[in-house]
Every structure is written in structure tokens, then in C-alpha cells.
Amino acid sequence: MSEITTHTGHLDASGLRVAIVATRFNEAIVERLVASATDTLRRHGAEASAIRVVWVPGAFELPIAVSRVARRGDVDAVVALGCVVRGDTPHFDYVAGEAARGTAAAARETDIPVAFGVLTTDTWEQAVARAGGKLGNKGGEAAVAAVETANLLRSL
Ligand code: INI
């Protein structure tokens, strides 16, 4: 009987070059996501010199910057970080929707994995809970996903 071939990405970030693209909008939240992402990458073995942080105005601008940084040819993965709070306006749906669609499209078009660490919440309190509060830190979780996917792609 033939054997099953399995591919999984390991979590060793040594040798990986990672770009974090983060929003200045809701910066009090996003800087916590960035801190957790960089700390997580370092704890998984990434060199500080292999981490690049790029700041964009808001989540709507994430796709174009993610796409540009992924095309540089010197990054193995991108972590997109931001925070979109619903408030009372339909603006939320456009901004959050484009951030998700655009970063996913950038990953497919460049063949560079992009982890989506953009909080999309109804309230500021829900964002705080996901940025180092009682629900953990989605910045660190996105960094782990980026490392795992970059290593997975190397094995495929
Ligand atoms: N950008 C965000 O990153 N988060 C938000 O919650 C947000 N809201 O609520 O409006 C937001 N808007 C700005 C947007 O991302 C663009 O920067 C702006 O529209 C200019 O293109």
C-alpha cells in the first residue's frame, strides 16, 4: 500500500524575512498588535534585521502596501495588522471588506503568504480584548500563521 504524503508548515522563523504592514488608524490598538507580532517572530527565531515594519494610514491602504512589499523580492511572508471598529457607519463594511479582499488578492498575485491580523469589531472594547486583553493578541497569532504558511509553501 502506498503511503500518504503530508505537508505542514513548521513554526521555526529563523531564516525567514517578514514584513509587518500596519495601520496608524486606531494606533493605540494596532501598536499592541505590532508589538506582539514582532515579539512572536523573535521568539520563533527571526532575526531583528529580518523584520521590516511598514505603516499605512488606514486598513483601506493595506492592500496596496502589502502588494508592493511582497513584490520587493526580499520578504518570505507579510503580516497585515489593523483595527476597524464598526461604529454607526456603513464605511466599516467598505474598509474592512477591501482590507480582507485586497490583502488576500495580494497574496495570490505575488505568491507571498499574507496573514490577516486585522481586527473587525463592533466596539473599541472588543478590539482591546483581542489586542493583549482577555481574548489574547491577534497580532501574535497572525505572525504564527505567517511563519507556518511561509514554511508550508517552501515544502510544496
Ligand atoms: N481605517 C481603519 O483602519 N480603521 C477604521 O476603523 C476606519 N474607520 O472607521 O473609518 C478606517 N478608515 C480609514 C480608511 O482606512 C482609509 O484610510 C481612508 O478612507 C482613506 O483612504
For the chain, list the strands marked E by DSSP.
18-23, 51-56, 77-85, 114-121, 131-133, 136-137
* Per-residue pLDDT, 88: 66
Rounded to the nearest angstrom, the distance between the alpha carbon of 36 and the centre of ligand 1 is 22
From 31, 95, 118, 130, mutation site for ligand 1 pocket: most ligand atoms within 8 A of C-beta: 95
Count, in order, helices (H) and strands (E) of the chain. 5, 6
| Amino acid of residue 21 | V
95 lines ligand 1 (CB under 6 A): yes
CB atoms within 10 A of CB 92: 17
111 C-alpha to ligand 1 centroid (Å): 26
Topology (CATH) of 18-151: Rossmann fold (3.40.50)
**Beta pairing class for 114-121 and 77-85:** parallel
The model's pTM = 0.97
44 annotated active-site:
no
Domain chopping of the chain, boundaries: 18-151
Q: For 117, which DSSP code?
A: E
Say if CB 35 and CB 72 are below 8 A apart: no
Beta carbons of 36 and 132 less than 8 angstroms apart: yes
One pLDDT digit (tens) per residue for the chain, 156 residues = 789 999 999 999 999 999 999 999 999 999 999 999 999 999 999 999 999 999 999 999 999 999 999 999 999 999 999 999 998 678 899 999 999 999 999 999 999 999 999 999 999 999 999 999 999 999 999 999 999 999 999 999
pLDDT tens per residue, range 70-108: 999 999 999 999 999 998 678 899 999 999 999 999 999
Residue 33 to residue 38: CA distance in whole angstroms = 9
Regarding the beta carbon of 82 and ligand 1, being less than 6 Å apart is answered yes
Across 11-90, the runs of DSSP E, i.e. the strands, are 18-23, 51-56, 77-85
Residue with the three cell numbers 463592533: 122
